[in-house]
Every structure is written in C-alpha cells, then in structure tokens.
Amino acid sequence: MRSRQRMFAAVMRLLLKCLRLGRRRRFKLVRQAEQLWHYGHLCLRSLLYNSFTNGDVVLDSLFEPVYWLVDHVTRWFGVVFVALVIGLTSSIVAIVYICLLPLILQTYTPAWICWHLAYGHWNLIMIVFHYYMAITTSPGHPPQAKNDLTGVSICRKCIAPKPARTHHCSICNRCVLKMDHHCPWLNNCVGHYNHRYFFSFCLFMTMGCIYCSISGWDMFRDAYAAIERMKLLEKERLQVAANQTYYQTPPPTFSFRQRAFHKSVVYLWVLCSSVALALGALTLWHAALITRGETSIERHINRKERQRLQKKGKVFRNPYSYGSWDNWKVFLGVDMPRHWLTRVLLPSPHLPHGTGLSWDLPPCVTEQRAPLLAI
C-alpha cells in the first residue's frame, strides 16, 4: 500500500515538473516572439524616422506623383503655349492692318494718323523684341565647377551648393539664379538674366491691349450692332423663304466680307480686353514685387521669416532691397539718366547688374542697404 502511494506521488511530481517545463518553454517562445516584433518595428522606424519630418513633408511625399505629372505636362505644353501666344498676337496684328488701318487712314486727321502709326508700331516692336528675348535668353544657372562657388545651402535635387536667391526648377530640372517662377507661356524659367524681358513683355503687351480696346471701342459697338442686325435679317429671310409668295422678296443679306469685318472687330476687342485685364493684374503684381526687391518665391519666404521674427520682437528687412526707386533702377539697369530712353523706352539687350552668384551693391544705388535683422 505504501509502495503504491509512493509510486503515485512520484508520478504526480514528474507530471507537475513536465507541466512547469512546458509552461516555461511557452513563455520563452512568447518572449522571443515579442522581442523579434519589437526589433523589427524598431528597424522599420529607424529606416523611416527623420527629426525634420512633419505633416507637410508627408503631404508633399503623397503628392509627389501629382507634382511629377504636372511638371511633365507643363514642360510638354510649353511649346503649345508659345505657339498660342504667337498665333493670337499675329491674328490681332493682321486684323489691325487689314481691317482697321484702312479705316483709320480714311477717317482720322493727319495728326491722329501719325500718332497711331508711331505709337502702334513702337508698341509692337517692344512686344516682339522682349518676348523673343524672354524665351531665348537663359535665366542663368550656377556653374558646374563648384570649387569657388559660394553657396548658402545645398540643393537636395542637384546635390550641389546653391548661391543666394537660387532655387531649383522641377520642370527644367536645374537650379536657376534668382528664380522668380517657371512661365509656361515662355516655355522658360524667369530668372536673373531674363526677368527684365519678361516684365517688359507683360507691360508692353498690356499697354498694347489697352490701346486696342480704347481705340476700337466705337468700332466694336458698331460691329456688334451690325452682327445683331445680321442675325435679325437672317431670321426674317428664313421666315420669308418659308412663306414666300409671288409678290414677296427676301430682305437683303450681308456679304461675306462685311460679316468677316464685323466679326473680326468683335474678336479683336474681346480678346484684347480680356488679356488686358488678366495680364494687367499680373503686371501690377510683379511691379509690386520689384518695388519691394523680391521675387515671387522670395515673397513667401520673406513673409514666413517676417512672422517668425515678429514673434521674437524683431523686424525683418530684405537684404536685397535698396529702396523703391533704387530697386527699379537696379532691375531695369538704369545707371544714368539717358538709360531711361536707351534701355527702357527702346529695345536694349543689356545685361542685369551682377552675375547672380553674389549680390554686391550696384553702382546706381544711392543709399546703403539696410541690415538683415534689426532689433
């Protein structure tokens, strides 16, 4: 009896030991699985972690395919936009020469004829010259040899130093000196060497459209009234043709030349007025930027910097602004009074001040620039 009890106790102790060992092994496997999970999670976070990452970076990463598509579409459509500008401008010039100029020569006084001929052709020459220079002049790029290049930052696309006021254009896939923006209507970037050509083209194109809209207002009203009268007579002619008897005759119709003349005048006035409003607003915007000594990109950068320093009780001052008047002189390249005629009112291919790599004080500036920060 006792031997049987001892045997039962020994079996029970062996069974409990086996259960204890199995539980320890199970806990050990669970701990190993948890360690592997935490290790894998840590490795994954180490690959993706960046102390500068925030919501804006994540949003930009998600929209990167959209940016890529827009950049490539804009690059391809640049040629189409340039052809559209040339085609529309040529159509307006053709209408003026074919339709309006003979009428001006027949009805206006000699003084008004001379003024229209002089101003119209001067404005046309300025538009053609500045548009051609804007699309063919390179905006300027940092040199490939980086030994003597002074950079304030590193371009994360080019992996190269960026001089001050230089930014990367994702459409051109290059860094551009004093980049303002990429203009699809030029199929080119607006930068250090062609910024003046771009603004002058916008200014003279706006002036030309306003000139055509004001000069052709009376012709537009007469042409619009004639088109409405043509529609009414066409409607009456169709009604008479449907109910025609032997004593009825259809009303007279306008000739093809008359129809083309009136529709061309309406087309000219509507197109010039629309372009004058849209391009005029863009020209005023860029004029305000030039007055402040900023580009379109620098406006956003300076606004954020101004808000950041304002919270610290400091005032931000643009280091590239020399005052409103001097900013215009630097932008237009006016070093002496006669340059307002030879470089502003007449076509001039002169280069801007500086190389776009460093920004020394131009000789035409009368006052020293303000410091970057002021307490």
Beta strands in the chain (DSSP E): 153-155, 160-162, 167-169, 174-176, 181-183, 188-190, 315-316, 373-374
* CA distance between the termini of the chain: 102
Residue 354: DSSP 8-state: S
What's the rounded Cα separation, in Å, for the pair 165 and 330? 16
DSSP annotation of 96 reads I
C-alpha of 88 from chain center: 20
Report d(CA 26, CA 21) in Å as an integer.
Answer: 9
Burial of 192 (0-12, 13-18, 19+ CB in 10 A): buried
Q: Which of 150, 137, 297, 260 is nearest to 201 (CA)?
A: 137
Please provide the size of the chain in residues: 375
Residue 254 burial (CB < 10 Å; 0-12/13-18/19+)?
middle
Query: What stretches of 168-194 show up as alpha helix (H) in DSSP?
Result: none
Closest CA to 170 of 69, 286, 299, 302: 69
Give the C-alpha separation, 57 to 51, whole Å: 11
Number of H helices, E strands in the chain: 11, 8
Rg (CA), the chain: 37
| DSSP state, residue 251 | P
List the catalytic residue out of 99, 169, 172, 183.
183
Active site residue 183: yes
What CA–CA distance (Å, rounded) separates 46 from 23?
A: 34
Catalytic residues: 183
